Amino acid sequence: MLIVMKNDATEAQIQNVVDAIEKLSLTAEKLPGAQRTAIGVTGNKEFVDQGRIMNYSGVKEIIHVTKKYKLVSREYQQEDTLVEIAEGVVFGGGQPVVIAGPCAIESYEQLLEIAKNIKELGADMLRGGAYKPRTSPYSFQGLEEEGLKIMKKVSEEASIPVISEITSTDDLELFSEYVDMIQIGSRNMQNFDLIQKVAALGKPILLKRGMSSTMEEFLLAAEYILKQGNPNVVLCERGIRTFETSTRNILDLNTLALIKIESHLPIIADPSHSAGRYDLVIPLAKASIACGADGLIVEVHNNPKEALCDGAQSLNFDSFKSLMNQL
Ligand code: PEP
Ligand code: MN
């Protein structure tokens, strides 16, 4: 439930309402806005008696949030959430943030070369997997802790913030030390134990949509993170499974645009994992930005033909340059 206060409501009137809510053993959170303050109420399983609250002076209206998600909803917070990773790298601030890099960290030399090139071409952050959740146990699984150490070194040398995917709660300390933003992959979107423990670290999180998840399930997964007290969540539409088999996944731009209406959280698109092939990445990236995406995460490799992971969908430096120019 959301209690919207009048424009001229005084601090004392706002506090009276907060006290009344807390007396009902519910949680009240003041949400100051540009025009007026709202009070978000959580903890209620049923409707709170509207009449009683309306009697308090300064109350303008009460909005019942009937959806399952609350903290992530636009009703709860009208203004866009901004997630700042470093100076000038802000998701949701109007300027798309571009994350680029290889699917997997393969070596120090490889990552440094990619970092320098993508940075020069305008990328804001470097991606790279150290723990790879591969479909086949026989595929390259990543350099693990060594990969994260390489990433930290490259981040410092190339002066670029970094993001990598966590797959196990065993690695929380490593990720807390070595990366600027932690990625929760598609396969772990509903691994609630993992996402709550990552949320508790307080670091910014990139939450990728489960490949067979509905929008509601996606937003509810983000709700777990916000409920943990970590507001620094960026969503990522990375393509969903449908009956169509001609591409790896289908980039669900409907949901991307709908989430901009439904939620205040920033959302970016991953055209690489959606398409599964490099020659669809640029058109899908442009479509995502046209739909309001707050950024992109794109796989870029110094030598896609030799990549240990996802080479078919990786852009080389020339194509990445073309993408940046077109953006
Ligand atoms: C990735 O970004 O490297 C990745 C594995 O993506 P997803 O979780 O979307 O499959
Ligand atoms: Mn990949």
CB 178 within 8 A of CB 161: no
Strands 2-5 and 37-42: antiparallel
pTM of the model: 0.87
User: Could you tell me the CA-to-CA distances from 191 to 71, 142, 167, 233, 310 in Å, in that order?
Assistant: 19, 21, 9, 16, 24
Distance (Å) from CA 186 to ligand 1 centroid: 6
Please report where in the chains the tokens 């399930």 appear, as a residue: 217
User: Could you tell me the CA-to-CA distances from 24 to 18, 50, 80, 143, 208 in Å, in that order?
Assistant: 10, 13, 30, 52, 37
Distance (Å) from CA 299 to ligand 2 centroid: 7
Count of beta carbons in the 10 Å neighbourhood of residue 128: 29
Distance (Å) from CA 90 to ligand 2 centroid: 23
Examine the pLDDT at 33 and tell me if it is beyond 90: no
Section 164-176 average pLDDT: 98
Distance (Å) from CA 180 to ligand 2 centroid: 19
Distance (Å) from CA 45 to ligand 2 centroid: 41
Q: Indicate whether residue 185 lines ligand 1 (CB < 6 A).
A: yes
Q: Indicate whether residue 233 lines ligand 1 (CB < 6 A).
A: no
Distance CA 72, CA 75 (A): 9
The confidence band for 44, taking pLDDT boundaries of 50, 70 and 90, is low
Which atom belonging to ligand 1 lies closest to the Cα atom of 133?
Answer: 5
Q: What are phi and psi of 31, to 5 degrees?
A: -125, 85
The confidence band for 46, taking pLDDT boundaries of 50, 70 and 90, is low
Bigger pLDDT: 2 or 164?
164
Which structure tokens are listed for 23? Answer: 């007396």
Q: What value, to the nearest 5°, has the Cα angle with vertex 289 and ends 286 and 291?
A: 110
Please report where in the chains the tokens 């055209």 appear, as a residue: 271
Which atom belonging to ligand 1 lies closest to the Cα atom of 188?
Answer: 8
Choosing from 273, 297, 301, 308 the residue with most ligand 1 atoms within 8 A of its CB, the one to mutate for a pocket test is: 273
Q: Indicate whether residue 101 lines ligand 1 (CB < 6 A).
A: no
Q: For position 35, what pLDDT does the model report?
A: 83
Which structure tokens are listed for 65? Answer: 């949030």
3-state secondary structure the chain: CEEEECCCCCHHHHHHHHHHHHHCCCEEEEEECCCCEEEEEECCCCCCCHHHHHCCCCEEEEECCCCCCCCCECCCCCCCCCEEEECCEEECCCCCEEEEECCECCCHHHHHHHHHHHHHCCCCEEECECCCCCCCCCCCCCCCHHHHHHHHHHHHHHCCCEEEEECCHHHHHHHHHHCCEEEECHHHCCCHHHHHHHHCCCCCEEEECCCCCCHHHHHHHHHHHHHCCCCCEEEEECCECCCCCCCCCECCHHHHHHHHHHECCCEEECHHHHHCCHHHHHHHHHHHHHCCCCEEEEEECCCHHHCCCCHHHCECHHHHHHHHHHC
Which atom belonging to ligand 1 lies closest to the Cα atom of 185?
Answer: 8
Q: What is the pLDDT of residues 218-260, one digit of tens each?
A: 999 999 999 999 999 999 999 999 999 999 999 999 999 999 9
**Domains of the chain, with CATH numbers?**
2-63 (3.30.70.1140), 83-326 (3.20.20.70)
Bigger pLDDT: 65 or 297?
297
Q: For position 47, what pLDDT does the model report?
A: 58
Distance CA 70, CA 41 (A): 9
